Amino acid sequence: MLVLFAGTLGCAMRGIRQVAPETTALRDAALEKSRGPVLLLTDPSEETIKQFLFLVDASLINVENLRIVGIHHASDPLDTARSARLLEERQVTWFSLETVHCELPDDPFVFSPSCLAAFSELFERSDGIVFSGGPDLPAADYQEAQSLLTAPRSLERTRFELALAAALLGGKGWRDGRDALLESRPSYLVLGICLGMQELNVALGGTLHQDIPFEIYGLYTYEEVLAEPRAAHRRYRLGRTTGDLGRFARHRLATTPAWTSRGLPDLDEGSPRVLSAHHQAVEQLGSALEVLATSRDGAVVESLGHTRFRSVLGVQFHPEHEAIAKAALSRGGPSIDEASLAAHRKLWSWISGALIASAEARMGAVPTPTSTPTPAD
Which phi-psi region, left, alpha or beta, contains residue 287 (left: φ > 0; alpha: ψ -120 to 50)? beta
The active-site residue, picked from 98, 161, 199, 320, is 320
What does the buried/exposed string (b/e) look like for 152-180 if buried means 16 or more CB atoms within 10 Å of the residue's CB? Answer: eebbebbbbbbbbbbbbbbbbbbbeeeeb
The active-site residue, picked from 194, 209, 278, 302, is 194
The secondary structure of 9-53 as a DSSP string is HHHHHHTPPPPPHHHHHHHHHHHHHTS--EEEEES--HHHHHHHH
Contact 233, 278 (CB under 8 A): yes
Contact 263, 350 (CB under 8 A): yes
Active site residue 318: yes
The active-site residue, picked from 318, 321, 322, 344, is 318
d(CA 108, CA 163): 5
d(CA 377, CA 368): 25
DSSP secondary structure code for residue 334 in this structure: S
d(CA 278, CA 135): 9
Q: Which amino acid is at 26?
A: L
Residues paired with residue 276 on neighbouring β-strands, in sequence order: 249
Catalytic sites, residue numbers = 194, 318, 320
